[in-house]
A and B are shown apart, each in its own frame.
Chain A
């Protein structure tokens, strides 16, 4: 803390701009582009990995083994991955029943729903 002399944190600014740019590209790919769905998904995945890289290397000191606690980020990342595993696997496990996406819910009610939805987003 005491050693932070007054200068522009270039690394952080670049990282910040990069992550904003990647977010915008991802949003554009999903909303504004005409790319095929599988491309969009793969593209977003790649952007996500790059995004994680920016976070880790430009903001989160993964490389700073010198602090003597180089293992802490890895430790937390391991737990993060474990949790992500629980969320994804757990959701698939508990939610994979009766959903075949063939629209066998509701019939007429479904239709009405749709109209209300549009009314709502219209105002």
Chain B
């Protein structure tokens, strides 16, 4: 096969993308070589097992994916506002909404949150790294290569085009021949390994590595949300893994699980997909709830109202999230009894969610709010998310859902929960913990510009879509020149560009703050309002996090530490610190599996087998690897701490 056979040809937009990708690639290679940064990149980043650096890499990748998914979104919005322009053809439109959805959920929302968890959770519980640092690096690289594989699909081989839900029989070999759908399967499978491993890793870290004295009900709320999320991950992701594997067998090896012929059951895919898919939406919302809780408590300068209730409502949400999946296919025809059961369970889930809303409001009640950028994202979240939740309950009524299903009403619902929930939380969390990660804050003035643009853009974009849905506009449709729909579609597109602008201002702020922001001198960056242990570390955080781990027996331990003048550097208690060594194994291992996946996408079995054998060899290498890490001597700890604390 010749290389030109697998390149996607004939689309000016894609040629443009190819050229710009090549140019950016060349520019990067040039910069790295010119500034002699290759060794630095390899030693400090590509082989790292430090949870903070891995977290930063997750977040950078997620921002990149937010950009890619955002460009997809803009293109769809242009097409919908000006349907007569012929900007996109039907096939191209299908590919774009598929990659947009998949990228935003799997390669943007989850890695963004996992990145924040990576950096913050060990700091919040007084741990020096993850329980399994090697595995953590492995997770990142599996996500990274999965993401890379999925993203090249539009220039090599052709992008998947059966929606992010990839429903069979449409996504089966008979109706979607060619590599496109395989990119979806292998990209998700590969990155799924990482997600599952991260779930286990975080669970063990939180259960086993908390500071002395810290009971589960002393943990910061973001750590709690992470723990609950990792349970959902561990129980939900295997379902996706199996479903993807079965569909892969169908497509590549001719089995008949989801086909129309050979006694396959196409609807079983929908069933399995949503058994994972609904828990998945809670995987991306619970950590967001955790972030908002931290931010709101910090800037309302009050203890979070109803901490125990907050925790229990998350646990109840997690349990219920496994019992509602059928609400995504009420219209499949399962009958009134089945639908009624799942209608009720769906509405039940709104109860603990409502409880959380009231707790946030009660935390804010009579408090002296400080309007920082993270706080503004969090305050904007509450009313916006309620709109999404209420429409969710409307969709949850099976009889009504026959009208709403797969219309723009649904689209508006899930963007209200996913953007006002998850994306606002990502921005809030990143701005909030930014000084911990990079040693300086993001500029507040520019940050507010980004916030207002994005906030208004968001509502202008998605509020009209509820009404488009009620007017009968279906999702995933590329010809929309129905006179009744046009005005609202144009308004919606204007809003979308507002959000795009907001994102650009946000990214500009990263650059601006890097150049001009004041450098942090203390670890407690937000006017000394920090409540939890991450603020007790110095900025920048030393690679071993805590010179000495404080004893903790309450939530908000740092408040009392400040009163009592305690720090994470008690000179009399210093001991050598055991740290894991950096290793190149994770990146090599996952690169090999990435190669295997690439082979499977094109059904080039020799490539696949070669990559898989490489993977097995890497596992053997790991099994006989007896590197137990190293000890940081007390002298070095003293030197580092004295410098960071200006002693």
Contacts and interface: CB of A to CB of B under 8 A. Distances in A.
B527 interface: no
A113 interface: yes
Contact of A117 (B174, B322, B323): B174
Nearest to B266: A105
Interface in A1-23: 1-2, 4, 6, 8-9, 12
B173 A120 contact: yes
Interface string B4-35: 00000000000000000000000000000000
Nearest to A123: B603
A101 B256 CA distance: 13
B396 to A, nearest CB: 16
Interface string B319-360: 000110110000001110010001000000000000000000
Interface residues on A, range: 20 to 34
A94 B173 contact: no
Given A95-B267, A121-B254, A6 B333 contact: no
A70 interface: no
Nearest to B254: A121
Contact of A110 (B239, B261, B334, B628): B261
B209 interface: no
B613 interface: no
Contacts of A110: 260-261
B334 A94 contact: yes
Nearest to A13: B623
Given A79-B235, A87-B275, A94-B326, A117 B333 contact: no
A86 B271 CA distance: 12
Contacts of A99: 265
A117 B626 contact: no
9 contacts: A79-B235, A83-B322, A87-B275, A97-B334, A97-B338, A98-B333, A99-B265, A110-B261, A117-B259
B268 interface: yes
B636 interface: no
A103 B338 CA distance: 24
A83 B235 contact: yes
Nearest to B203: A76
A113 B261 contact: yes
Given A6-B626, A113-B260, A117-B259, A97 B333 contact: yes
A9 B322 CA distance: 38
Interface string A79-103: 1100100110011011101110101
B383 interface: no
- Residue of B174, B325, B335, B623 with most partner-chain A CB within 10 A: B174
Nearest to A1: B628
A34 interface: no
A106 B260 contact: yes
A12 B173 CA distance: 39
Nearest to A109: B260
B260 A105 contact: yes
A80 B260 CA distance: 31
A25 to B, nearest CB: 19
B260 A94 contact: no
Contacts of B260: 105-106, 109-110, 113
Contact of B275 (A90, A93, A121): A90
A32 to B, nearest CB: 15
Interface string B387-430: 00000000000000000000000000000000000000000000
B177 interface: yes
B263 interface: yes
Contact of B323 (A6, A86, A103): A86
Contacts of B267: 95
B239 A87 contact: yes
Interface in B601-631: 623-624, 626, 628
Q: What 7 pairs across the A-B complex have the smallest Cβ distances?
A: A121-B254, A116-B174, A120-B173, A117-B174, A114-B261, A83-B235, A94-B334
B268 A93 contact: no
Given A101-B263, A117-B173, A117-B174, A94 B271 contact: yes
A24 B275 CA distance: 29
Contact of A120 (B177, B271, B275, B333): B177
A90 B261 CA distance: 24
B174 A2 contact: no
B496 to A, nearest CB: 36
A79 B254 CA distance: 34
Interface string B297-328: 00000000000000000000000001101100
